[in-house]
A and B are shown apart, each in its own frame.
Chain A
Amino acid sequence: MLLKILFRNAFRHKVRTTLTICGIAVAILAFGLLRTVVTAWYAGVEAASANRLITRNATSLVFPLPLAYKDKIRGVEGVTRVSYGNWFGGVYITERNFFANFAVEPGAYLKQYPEYVLTDLEKEAFLRDRRGCIAGANLARRFGWKVGDSITLKGTIFPGDWELVLRGIYRGREDNVDENQFFFHWDYLNETVRRTQPGRADQVGFYVITIAHAQEAAMISDRVDALFRNSFAATLTETEKAFQLGFVSLSEAILTAIRLISLVVIGVIMAVAANTMGMSVRERLGEYAVLKTLGFGNTYVSLIILGESLVIAVLGGFLGMVCTFPASEMVGRAVGDYFPVFVVARETLYLEFLAAILVGSVAALFPMWRASTVPIAEGLRRIS
């Protein structure tokens, strides 16, 4: 019966309740999208493997490391595989067509990144062709590429037109794998550089190291860096996660602002919902007085108010959660260049649900207090 009262009360003013539900839905949607932006920012970090280390030049990522380090790193105890690569920084047709592209040692690299899924035929074709390349499924879809297409990248760091042939389109094994990347053979890059800029040959931008046991990451990193401490190109080795976090930390202020805005959105809708509940309770103080007259205590009355507030907030929250998926799909398409992985995380859905519960609960607090403290006689007088 009390459930009936709270459900029916919630929809006594259909327009007001519907508008409040829509308001909460929009706020929860905005909250969810902002959280998804934050998640997208950390996508690389989340996708990072605990068994992979990245070694780069200790001075800066822009300075290269000698190719000769590879064998020394491979000899470090605990290291099971080493590959290397360069950030190529090429553009496709115009500079507006930006995407991440790397020259890598393909055989070892693909073994280190099993989350990039290719068919055996594609993998074989890519490994065999020195001018072969692979692209993520999103990237291929974006430019309408098919396996076998010729792709020309304009080099910005390594000048010239680089003729490549698409040999495979990889898909991510998990949702958080970036399908907007592009890889080709480091050997092709190095051979060309040796001819055109011999001083830059046999140098790599980074090493990717696979280790047997994740818990030995710190120890192995120290061992690798110790090898080159006194050389002209000292190294800095860290876990792939720490390496990715280094990029994210550059945008920490923006991320903090986004987090704050998402909380402000919830705060605003909390005030709106509290106002709605305040109005409803003010109109019904007489009815609550009647319930108290009949012997229902303040707990019952408070539960009716809290329940009504939660019904409205949860309906709004649910609507917002449902809308988060198509909205994030649209936003993801629009900002795909900047956020290759724009997926609503399960954690975001939990947070949206919690936010809805919080809005409903906080909005009911003052009305509950008001209904509990108004003397019965005063409440009854309001009816007359």
Chain B
Amino acid sequence: MTLVEIRNVSKSYIKGDQTIPVLQNINLSIGRKEFIALMGPSGSGKSTLLNLIAGLDSADSGVISVDGMDISSLSQRDLARWRSLHVGFIFQFYNLIPVLTAFENVELPLLLTGLTKRQRREHALTALQLVKLEDRLDHYPGQLSGGQQQRVAIARAVVSDPTLLVADEPTGDLDRVSAEDVLQLMERLSADLGKTVIMVTHDPRAARKAHRMQFLDKGVLADAPEDTLSECF
């Protein structure tokens, strides 16, 4: 069953008097509970496509629908609300708020819900238990290792129970052991909690955890080169 449907999506950026095409006529379907890896060389448009799917940017043409909702037609305000309800984000550099503790960072997205303080606390604790950081509640991001920070970021991404998780190079800034931990966690989120995960990565080991890999080259979906395929599978 399809969760994300991308039809004829194109996107370009204007730099000075030049128009630079980034994505050209992309068509892609992603199923529910699917864990998909987006790969490709730098500048191929992976992160742009991820941003479009997550509602962080808008396409020049084409339609993106998530769970039957055409997000290309939403206003900025509605899009912000939609993101808060349906999408969890995991970034390469964790992007935690440095002045908030691990617990407060995880609680942050819940402020946009109608939950009471007590309910927010319960949800945040559950999410932090999920990533095994219940003993680091009061630590600030600066007091945590990179791997721990990324786990806090994952807890923040899942705390509001979104349908879709988008991850942009989630292991790009981690050592091998921490990266493996994070990937296992993401695998579990897909397998055990039924989250749809879309992950942009350069790392074939990370892509290996995904159910499917899509390769982007120069803004179009392409077949992966042999060497990439052999590294991944």
Q: How near does chain B come to A301, taking the closest CB pair, in angstroms?
A: 11
Query: Is A296 a contact partner of B112 (Cβ separation < 8 A)?
Result: yes
Query: Is A12 a contact partner of B80 (Cβ separation < 8 A)?
Result: no
A375 within 8 A of B: yes
A377-B56 contact given A286-B95, A294-B83, A295-B83, CB 8 Å threshold: yes
Q: How near does chain B come to A227, taking the closest CB pair, in angstroms?
A: 77
Q: Which of B80, B92, B93, B95 contacts A296 (CB 8 A)?
A: B80
A2's closest neighbor in chain B, by CB?
B111
Query: Is A295 a contact partner of B81 (Cβ separation < 8 A)?
Result: yes
A112 within 8 A of B: no
Q: Write the B63-88 contact mask toward A (1 if CB under 8 angstroms, else 0).
A: 00000000000000100110111000
Compute how far the CA of A9 lies from the CA of B56 in the bound complex, rounded to whole angstroms. Answer: 25
Query: Is B95 a contact partner of A290 (Cβ separation < 8 A)?
Result: yes
A297's closest neighbor in chain B, by CB?
B80
In residues 44-70 of chain B, which contact A (Cβ within 8 Å)?
48, 51, 54, 56-57
In residues 76-99 of chain A, which contact B (Cβ within 8 Å)?
none
A1 within 8 A of B: yes
For A383, the chain B residues whose CB sits under 8 A away are 91, 93, 95
Q: Write the A10-34 contact mask toward B (1 if CB under 8 angstroms, else 0).
A: 0010000000000000000000000
Q: Which of A4, A375, A376 contacts B99 (CB 8 A)?
A: A4
Query: Is A384 a contact partner of B99 (Cβ separation < 8 A)?
Result: no
B174 within 8 A of A: no
Compute how far the CA of A287 lies from the CA of B97 in the bound complex, rounded to whole angstroms. Answer: 6
Query: Is B92 a contact partner of A4 (Cβ separation < 8 A)?
Result: no
Interface of B is mostly: helix
A384-B93 contact given A1-B104, A5-B100, A293-B83, CB 8 Å threshold: yes
For B92, the chain A residues whose CB sits under 8 A away are 384
For A376, the chain B residues whose CB sits under 8 A away are 51, 56-57
Query: Is B93 a contact partner of A294 (Cβ separation < 8 A)?
Result: no
Q: How near does chain A come to B8, taking the closest CB pair, in angstroms?
A: 21
B94's closest neighbor in chain A, by CB?
A383
Q: Which size bracket describes the interface of B in this complex?
A: 20 to 34
For A9, the chain B residues whose CB sits under 8 A away are 99
B117's closest neighbor in chain A, by CB?
A1
Compute how far the CA of A2 lies from the CA of B99 in the bound complex, rounded to whole angstroms. Answer: 11
B120's closest neighbor in chain A, by CB?
A1
Query: Is A294 a contact partner of B99 (Cβ separation < 8 A)?
Result: no
For B98, the chain A residues whose CB sits under 8 A away are 12, 287
For A286, the chain B residues whose CB sits under 8 A away are 95
For B57, the chain A residues whose CB sits under 8 A away are 375-377
A381's closest neighbor in chain B, by CB?
B47
In residues 269-327 of chain A, which contact B (Cβ within 8 Å)?
286-287, 290-297
A294's closest neighbor in chain B, by CB?
B109
12 additional A-B pairs beyond A294-B108, A295-B80, A296-B84, beta carbons within 8 Å, are A1-B104, A4-B104, A8-B99, A12-B99, A287-B95, A290-B91, A290-B97, A291-B97, A380-B56, A383-B91, A383-B95, A384-B92
Q: List 27 A-B contacts (CB under 8 A).
A: A1-B107, A1-B108, A4-B99, A5-B97, A12-B99, A287-B95, A287-B97, A290-B95, A291-B97, A291-B108, A293-B56, A293-B89, A294-B84, A294-B89, A294-B108, A294-B112, A294-B156, A295-B80, A295-B84, A296-B80, A296-B112, A297-B77, A376-B56, A377-B48, A380-B56, A380-B91, A384-B92
